[in-house]
Amino acid sequence: MKSPRMHIGRPQRLAALLLLLFLGQCLWVIDHQELTTTDYRFAQCGREMWERPSPIAGYYTTCGNLNGDGTFAYRAAGLPLSIERLVLLSVDHFRAPSNKLYPGGSLQGSAWETRHQLSGVLFLVHLPFVLFALWLGGGLWWVARRLFGNEGGFLALGLYCFSPAMVRLAVTPNNDILAAWGLYGLVYTAIGVAHAMQGPRHKWRPRILLLVVALTCTAAAHLLAAIVGFVAAFALMLYVAERNRGYVMQVLVFSAFASLLLLMAFYGFHLEPYSYVFTGGGARFWFSLHGLQRFVHDPANLPILAAAAVSLYLYVFVRRSRYFGNTAPLLVLLGLAPLMTTQTVTAPWLWAQPFLFTFIGGVFADVLDTRHRKLFILLAILTLAAQALGCLAALPQIASA
């Protein structure tokens, strides 16, 4: 059986160019940053998870048992440093005894004692989060283009790549960018599973396995994001599955059980810290519009807000815009916007932004098929240009924050 060829055409090259611009903004910001106590905390505790040092009695790491705080970001921040340390130790075996960095060829003491030999720490700690942000942008473009065509996909990706909030998330160690990445993938993977359930059963398994991975990674980043994604997946799958709705609950129960087992790997299969997933209160939330108000009051987001207002108006008053492709991201957006976590400092509103960009791209793509096409093409270009200028102007402020 021949594998399908990967075709890289003009749309793919243009999407790659936008992602490169996003990467350039992130690298510029990181180059103008300094290491902070937050960077050291994520790096040290992440390395401890990978390198298995002797923890403080009764605690998983020196960060404690991460009560309510997901382990994904710590592991992501610590992995490049642990890899660099292993490379240094491997190279050390080939050095002369007088030139060895570590006597005896192995590190003595705690896992953090090699920090003075590690180079490029600032970029190594921040780079994983930039890569996940790029991955999220690529997934956003793929979903929006598949649903709405090239115009909708490029508008959604352009707004994402020039969103100051997304750049800010990408250049600091945090679980929010990972939760946003996991939640977006979880929702649209669930929709893909529901579509596959209308076909032959041998096509269900790969997508169900992907759903398990998405749910696991989302829960490892933030438990509340996983719960919201699970509820959204259940509702959307029931709508899409149609004749096979009886299998939806079975698929989701299996996915949830498998995800709970896989989630133990993020805790090194230690039961005591893993128990804090259920008792740490990471999923506690209440309702507040504080995050949305901060987004609205930021002048750099005015083009996004204008595009969102136009899209919402068209969705309400133009019948052709009210279909599943536009409704699904809008419902998830409305569900996330008023949430506020009470146990951990996080930003559910930021998890909603990829869904906002998907909604805007979908509605604009619908209008571009009408007699008002030229007007809305001009509006989309002006929106992207204004948003790009606003984001570039905000980069120094992001770097100094």
pLDDT at 324: 95
238 pLDDT band (50/70/90 cuts)?
A: very high
> Has residue 54 got a pLDDT over 70?
no
- Arithmetic mean of pLDDT, 242-261: 92
- Give the pLDDT confidence of 178-207 residue by residue, as tens digits: 999 999 999 999 999 999 988 888 888 899
The answer to whether the CB of 301 falls within 8 A of the CB of 164 is yes
Q: How many CB atoms lie within 10 A of CB 248?
A: 22
Res. 2: pLDDT tops 80: no
Q: What is the pLDDT of residue 333?
A: 97
| Band of residue 56 on the pLDDT scale cut at 50, 70, 90 | low
What's the pTM value of the predicted model, to 2 decimals? 0.92
Report d(CA 145, CA 143) in Å as an integer. 6
* Position 344 pLDDT exceeds 50: yes
Q: Is 64 left (phi over 0), alpha (psi -120 to 50) or beta?
A: left
pLDDT in tens, 67-86: 567 899 999 999 998 888 88
Q: Given pLDDT bands bounded at 50, 70 and 90, which one contains residue 53?
A: low
Quick one: pLDDT at residue 144? 97
Question: In the predicted model, is pLDDT for residue 26 greater than 70?
Answer: yes
SS (H, E, C) 340-364: EECCCCCCHHHHCHHHHHHHHHHHH
Task: Using the predicted structure, report yes or no on whether residue 232 has a pLDDT greater than 80.
Answer: yes
Using the predicted structure, report yes or no on whether residue 386 has a pLDDT greater than 90: yes
Identify the pLDDT of residue 88. Answer: 77
Across-strand partners of 340?
286
And the tokens for 128?
A: 């994983």
Task: For the chain, give the mean pLDDT.
Answer: 88
Could you tell me the pLDDT band of residue 389, with boundaries at 50, 70 and 90? very high
| Residues 386, 15, 394: CA angle, nearest 5 degrees | 35
Interatomic CA distance for residues 147 and 360, integer angstroms: 12
Q: Which pLDDT score, from 0 to 100, does residue 104 have? A: 52
Q: In the prediction, which pLDDT does 66 show? A: 65
The distance from CA 77 to its chain's CA centroid, rounded to whole angstroms, is: 14
At 369, is the pLDDT very low, low, confident or very high (cuts 50, 70, 90)?
Answer: confident
CB under 8 Å, gap of 24 or more: what pairs does 304-308 form?
Answer: 304/159, 304/163, 304/356, 304/360, 304/383, 304/387, 306/383, 307/159, 307/360, 307/364, 307/380, 307/383, 308/356, 308/359, 308/360
Q: Is the pLDDT of residue 105 over 60?
A: no
pLDDT tens, residue by residue, 282-323: 888 999 988 889 999 999 999 999 999 999 999 999 998 999
Q: How much is the pLDDT for 268?
A: 85
pLDDT at 108: 44
Q: What is the mean pLDDT of residues 137-150?
A: 96
Residue closest to 226 by CA, chosen among 282, 166, 292: 282
Q: Is the pLDDT of residue 170 over 60?
A: yes
Average pLDDT rounded to a whole number, residues 147-153: 95
Residue of higher predicted confidence among 90 and 158: 158
Cα radius of gyration rounded to whole Å, the chain = 22
Element (H, E) at 45: helix 37-51
Q: Are 45 and 81 in contact (CB under 8 A)?
A: no
d(CA 57, CA 73): 23
